[in-house]
Chains A and B, each alone.
Chain A
């Protein structure tokens, strides 16, 4: 690493065939001229020091009380995952997760029907995930088996989806509908009633509640946001004024104020028994908020579509709804996918604000776990763990969006 900078002073270009090697890349970008080498060394040293200190803290084999004590994570893993959901009803959540796994696998198989499904990278990923499932020190032993089963379900139904997808080309549409339809099943499994023991939303928590809130809000805010964006460009004054007023009012209020109003102020005006469920109030708040931002994102896309597109559609004899839904919207939405996904990711992160108004989502749950006398002062471990979880979900969303973008682009060119 400590290569001396090349002594040459003249601008002599290196032969092209060695430009691409990594050693040359390092030499060229990090070590020339001499002051870059110094900067590289300093930064590498600092990063190494930080990493070294972190690892020394994180890896604690001899039970040193001043180092990380990770037992807080496995001991409370169930609480991080589902909050205070009654444990004799966990089987329902496993079934729901199983359905998600099967649907995810099917969709994957259908989407990738023309390529090799289990490429080397995918197999490595599956193997790593299986190892993690087996190695996680879960106090409840069937959990390991069940989580590996879930991976098996994904892989199995992916294969099935690929085989079916080759025979039935419309399967892709069916899986979309299956996703929507399965939502009612999840609601039933989670909430109970109709033959299952009811579980109040007050007992939902952890990652389950975070993901639930985020998904519902995303599903609801998308149509509302698109409608508002179209409404803002409408030529009917009432519709336009309403959309503009909605967007500008909501964008003028901080999210925490909306959530606070929903959780604390609204009940003041409604009698006991007429109050909507707290989780529902949270969903409404999040949806109202993000649909206003989404509307502006979509409006950006709408404005980027040349006027000629619309005129061409009209010249072909399409009426207004068809012009919008077949010509304008598909192009507009495709143009703003990054912005929309960015909005969804920040919606996912905004669910943490609900811990302030007392919902026990992932972050709120962590606070209660940290107050357990057995784990006082373990906040670094807990927040690190929670941070990794949030990163995982957000990264999954953004890589998903990149994939969608790539697919849409190639199809149209």
Chain B
């Protein structure tokens, strides 16, 4: 019995499908220009960013000191400052950044799909990510390493002391795997207590449910300030893994990768040359040819990577040199008071070394 109801339904169905299909146009004004659609195939991401007038930067959004939202509802942190520096260098405006919060599982997919222009999201540089995942790693902005926190009065000094003790760790991270590896190497068998999230894990350690806590050293030091008695905890002098963290772009886009790479190097070079956000305008009139070249007062370094010659002036005015970025977010001007350690300039015994700008 073919009746009216069925006809009505077909019409309704068609209508609702059409309604589903149309809304995208409503927001096209906010989504940016529809040009440069084939950019990923032919042009560079650099042109996409310039045309859009906005950098889309993938951040974690939930790591103290690296990326978080402050009371004035601005993103802050060392990862965020790298995004700002790149935006300032490319677009001349450090605020022309759209931040995308990315989970650790979706970050590479989002980058590969072009949802974000770059990642500045606590990503460890490894060979498999560099090759098989298809990423390009810009210079390391933070050298981290996995450490172990214990109570000062526990008498634990090395990993060998951990036989029969317990260690708290976040589940599903490389940290957990490293712990197992290192403990097997040391020939001891501690009880590993895994927690799905950071907050309950630290709470468990604070409640003395485990003897040690392992995570990246920067995280341990940051979290130590929030324990009920921060002075009662020490970090053992062991480094269980290397964790070089830095910005990431997609493979096969050298022009864009070069921009991110050299802006990052530029922040390091600026510290070496003694250029800060305060004196950068004076330094442009300096007599030193290296400084003049670096700031674009002389030569054409910027044009080589498709930017204005004074691209580093904008970046430094926006966030300062590497030392300023570090001290503001993690170092002595922050709550964490992290030493520079490996993150000092090569001239001070650290690992930061920028190739010459010439």
Binding site for B on A (CB under 8 A): 65-66, 75-76, 78-79, 83-85, 87, 187, 191, 193, 198, 200-202, 223-224, 227, 230-231, 234-236, 239, 242, 260, 263-265, 267-268, 271-277, 279-280, 284, 319-321, 323-324, 356-360, 364-365, 367-374, 376-377, 379
Asked whether A277 lies within 8 Å of B65 as measured between CB atoms, the reply is: no
Asked whether B73 lies within 8 Å of A83 as measured between CB atoms, the reply is: yes
Which of the 9-residue segments B10-18, B148-156, B249-257 touches chain A?
B10-18
A379 to chain B minimum Cβ distance, whole angstroms, is 5
The answer, yes or no, to whether B173 is at the interface (CB within 8 Å) is no
Asked whether A271 lies within 8 Å of B1 as measured between CB atoms, the reply is: no
The answer, yes or no, to whether B132 is at the interface (CB within 8 Å) is no
Asked whether A376 lies within 8 Å of B20 as measured between CB atoms, the reply is: no
Interface CB pairs A-B, < 8 A, 12: A193-B30, A202-B99, A227-B12, A234-B5, A239-B13, A267-B114, A277-B24, A280-B24, A320-B5, A323-B5, A368-B67, A370-B68
Given A264-B113, A320-B5, A373-B222, do A76 and B71 touch, yes or no (CB 8 Å)? Answer: yes
List chain A residues, Cβ under 8 A from B66. 371
Given A78-B73, A230-B5, do A273 and B114 touch, yes or no (CB 8 Å)? Answer: no
Given A242-B13, A277-B31, do A373 and B73 touch, yes or no (CB 8 Å)? Answer: no
The answer, yes or no, to whether B109 is at the interface (CB within 8 Å) is yes
Asked whether B71 lies within 8 Å of A231 as measured between CB atoms, the reply is: no
- Nearest residue, chain A, Cβ from B12: A227
Kindly identify which residue among B10, B70, B225 contacts A239, using a CB–CB cutoff of 8 Å.
B10
List chain B residues, Cβ under 8 A from A79. 69, 71, 73
- Nearest residue, chain A, Cβ from B334: A373
Q: Give the docked Cα–Cα distance between A320 and B3 (Å).
A: 7
Counting chain B CB atoms within 10 Å of each CB, the highest count among A84, A324, A376 belongs to A376
List chain B residues, Cβ under 8 A from A198. 29-30
B59-87 CB contact bits vs A (8 Å, 1 = yes)?
Answer: 00111111111110111110000000000
Given A368-B69, A372-B69, do A273 and B1 touch, yes or no (CB 8 Å)? Answer: no
Given A198-B30, A376-B226, do A358 and B106 touch, yes or no (CB 8 Å)? Answer: yes
Q: Give the docked Cα–Cα distance between A372 and B110 (Å).
A: 25
Given A264-B109, A320-B8, do A273 and B33 touch, yes or no (CB 8 Å)? Answer: yes
Asked whether B62 lies within 8 Å of A377 as measured between CB atoms, the reply is: no
B23 to chain A minimum Cβ distance, whole angstroms, is 6
Asked whether B110 lies within 8 Å of A264 as measured between CB atoms, the reply is: yes
Asked whether B1 lies within 8 Å of A376 as measured between CB atoms, the reply is: no
Asked whether B61 lies within 8 Å of A368 as measured between CB atoms, the reply is: yes
The answer, yes or no, to whether B128 is at the interface (CB within 8 Å) is no
Kindly identify which residue among A75, A279, A371 contacts B61, using a CB–CB cutoff of 8 Å.
A371
Given A87-B73, A276-B31, A373-B336, 4 new contacts (CB under 8 A)? A273-B32, A280-B24, A368-B62, A379-B199
The answer, yes or no, to whether B182 is at the interface (CB within 8 Å) is no
Which residues of B from 83 to 106 have beta carbons under 8 Å from A? 98-103, 106
Asked whether B226 lies within 8 Å of A319 as measured between CB atoms, the reply is: no
Asked whether B10 lies within 8 Å of A376 as measured between CB atoms, the reply is: no
Q: Give the docked Cα–Cα distance between A289 and B24 (Å).
A: 19
List chain A residues, Cβ under 8 A from B334. 373
List chain B residues, Cβ under 8 A from A260. 106
Kindly identify which residue among B2, B33, B35, B64 contacts A235, using a CB–CB cutoff of 8 Å.
B2
Asked whether A239 lies within 8 Å of B9 as measured between CB atoms, the reply is: yes
List chain B residues, Cβ under 8 A from A242. 13
Asked whether B222 lies within 8 Å of A376 as measured between CB atoms, the reply is: yes
A to B contact number (C-beta, < 8 Å): 185
Binding site for A on B (CB under 8 A): 1-6, 8-10, 12-13, 16, 20, 23-24, 26-27, 29-40, 48, 61-71, 73-77, 98-103, 106, 109-110, 112-115, 199, 202, 222-223, 225-226, 228, 334-336
Asked whether B71 lies within 8 Å of A276 as measured between CB atoms, the reply is: no
B81 to chain A minimum Cβ distance, whole angstroms, is 14
List chain A residues, Cβ under 8 A from B39. 272
Asked whether B69 lies within 8 Å of A365 as measured between CB atoms, the reply is: yes
- Nearest residue, chain A, Cβ from B23: A280
Kindly identify which residue among A224, A231, A268, A272 contacts B112, using a CB–CB cutoff of 8 Å.
A268
Given A358-B103, A372-B69, do A239 and B6 touch, yes or no (CB 8 Å)? Answer: yes
Asked whether B65 lies within 8 Å of A273 as measured between CB atoms, the reply is: no
Q: Give the docked Cα–Cα distance between A284 and B199 (Å).
A: 33
Asked whether A227 lies within 8 Å of B106 as measured between CB atoms, the reply is: no
Q: Give the docked Cα–Cα distance between A109 and B89 (Å).
A: 58
Q: Give the docked Cα–Cα distance between A66 and B207 (Å).
A: 12
Asked whether B64 lies within 8 Å of A371 as measured between CB atoms, the reply is: yes
Given A79-B69, A198-B29, do A264 and B74 touch, yes or no (CB 8 Å)? Answer: no
List chain B residues, Cβ under 8 A from A87. 73
Asked whether B6 lies within 8 Å of A372 as measured between CB atoms, the reply is: no
A255 to chain B minimum Cβ distance, whole angstroms, is 16
Kindly identify which residue among B4, B9, B38, B48 contacts A227, using a CB–CB cutoff of 8 Å.
B9
Q: What 6 A-B pairs are tightest by C-beta distance, nearest first?
A: A371-B68, A320-B4, A377-B226, A320-B5, A273-B34, A358-B101
Asked whether B27 lies within 8 Å of A280 as measured between CB atoms, the reply is: yes
List chain A residues, Cβ under 8 A from B10. 236, 239
B159 to chain A minimum Cβ distance, whole angstroms, is 27
List chain A residues, Cβ under 8 A from B103. 356-358
List chain B residues, Cβ under 8 A from A364. 61, 101
List chain A residues, Cβ under 8 A from B48. 272
Q: Give the docked Cα–Cα distance between A187 and B71 (Å).
A: 26
Given A200-B98, A365-B69, do A272 and B62 touch, yes or no (CB 8 Å)? Answer: no
Asked whether A273 lies within 8 Å of B68 as measured between CB atoms, the reply is: no
Given A368-B101, A376-B226, do A234 and B62 touch, yes or no (CB 8 Å)? Answer: no
List chain B residues, Cβ under 8 A from A367. 61-62
Counting chain B CB atoms within 10 Å of each CB, the highest count among A75, A265, A273 belongs to A273
List chain A residues, Cβ under 8 A from B33. 273
Asked whether A273 lies within 8 Å of B37 as measured between CB atoms, the reply is: yes
Asked whether B335 lies within 8 Å of A374 as measured between CB atoms, the reply is: yes
B52 to chain A minimum Cβ distance, whole angstroms, is 8
List chain B residues, Cβ under 8 A from A319. 4
- Nearest residue, chain B, Cβ from A367: B62
A184 to chain B minimum Cβ distance, whole angstroms, is 10
- Nearest residue, chain B, Cβ from A226: B12
Asked whether B69 lies within 8 Å of A84 as measured between CB atoms, the reply is: yes
Given A239-B6, A264-B109, A368-B61, do A277 and B27 touch, yes or no (CB 8 Å)? Answer: yes
List chain B residues, Cβ under 8 A from A78. 73
Q: Give the docked Cα–Cα distance between A202 and B115 (Å).
A: 13
Kindly identify which residue among B38, B71, B336 contacts A271, using a CB–CB cutoff of 8 Å.
B38
Asked whether B335 lies within 8 Å of A200 as measured between CB atoms, the reply is: no
Asked whether A376 lies within 8 Å of B109 as measured between CB atoms, the reply is: no
Kindly identify which residue among B64, B71, B102 contacts A358, using a CB–CB cutoff of 8 Å.
B102
Q: Give the docked Cα–Cα distance between A110 and B164 (Å).
A: 71
List chain B residues, Cβ under 8 A from A377. 199, 202, 223, 226
Q: Give the docked Cα–Cα distance between A219 and B218 (Å).
A: 46
- Nearest residue, chain B, Cβ from A223: B16
Q: Give the docked Cα–Cα distance between A360 and B214 (Å).
A: 29
